[in-house]
Structure 1
Amino acid sequence: QPDGKQGLNEDNIPLSGIGCYKFTNDEDSWATGGTCMKRTENTIRYAEVLLIYAEAMNELTKSYEMKTYNGQEVTISRNIAAMHDCIKPIRVRAGLPDYSDAVYNNRDDFRTFLKHERQIELFGEDAFRYYDLRRWKDAEIEENQPFMGCNINITNETSHKQSFYKKTAITQVPKVFIRKMYLWPFPTTEMKRNVNLTQNPGW
């Protein structure tokens, strides 16, 4: 077909024009008779352990005295060196430099950088982004932004090919998030089962 979809079946075209290579194997084949290689599902993602630890440490505003699992007394506080130890391995593995000292020294800046790091590192994995936006209370902003992608509705003319990379709103995917959606509603059956149960706000 004379367009940016290159004759593909409409059902197989990502609306954004961007495919996801993550979790694929070079031996995977969707052709008739082809197979997809088995892959191991991660029970615990070490990068997520590091990121969530760095995030928690960044939010500490004072020192805490506590005991470890073996009874050892320790003091926990916002520790920039420990935060470096969490972020640097993730950045270096991706061929990127560690954050600057200025970022580590500013709690708000570090939070902003870390949110972006989680978005990139954990892309497409176990709904991390879904729950991150809700626990950060950022969903009202982020999930009301238009769904953006490449321009797949281009002609096949050489002069138009560069237009494919034009940032384009994907209007076929409506997005809306309102405050009540931070909590899910209780099913009507549960409300009838327990008359003392009150519905979540807004539902």
Structure 2
Amino acid sequence: MPDPFRVPSGRVALVVTRSHAVGGPLCRALAAEGARLAVAGPSLLEVSAICAGLGRQETPGAVTALPYLMAPGACGPRRLVAAVMDDLQRIDALALDALDVLDAQAAVPAAALVAAAARAMVRGGRAGRIVVTGPPRLDAQVRLWADASRAHGITVNLLVPAPGAAEDLAEDLAAGTALLLSPLARGITGQAIEVHGSGVPRRP
């Protein structure tokens, strides 16, 4: 019986991350579930290291993970999405780290990337998933994205790292993102979910 938390094998996830420490755990989780990955970020060295690390897992060569540079003047959202579509023919999910790289003030804003990925999902007839990790101030924007995408079967949610969260937060953010990309999350959209990390005591 298939595990309902698994990302269906063959799906393509575009992961936009600022570092190996943040993006590595998520990419490992998605690759373990059979997803093909496009990993983009402002440092080609970082995203190439993530992809190379996935290739050294238990079944070397079985993981499809392609690195892309995404930086002002190098590759914008539309070019990035077009490149992924050319290379992997589809985009089913976008996981976007908007903590300090692609926020509203950046040269490559999160809004443009979310819009470009959503258009690709709609053109491909995909019931897509978009998960943004970022500050609470993105809450209203994420709700707008979710409302605009709902009719196309695309969910958009926000994960907010809690202030003073535990050192293992990257692993918990990865787990939360993987959950929101799973089939069970098809009814969850427009939500801002605070992630504390497993080392932080929960409020009663």
Q: Same fold (TM over 0.5)?
A: no
More strand by share: 2
Larger radius of gyration: 1
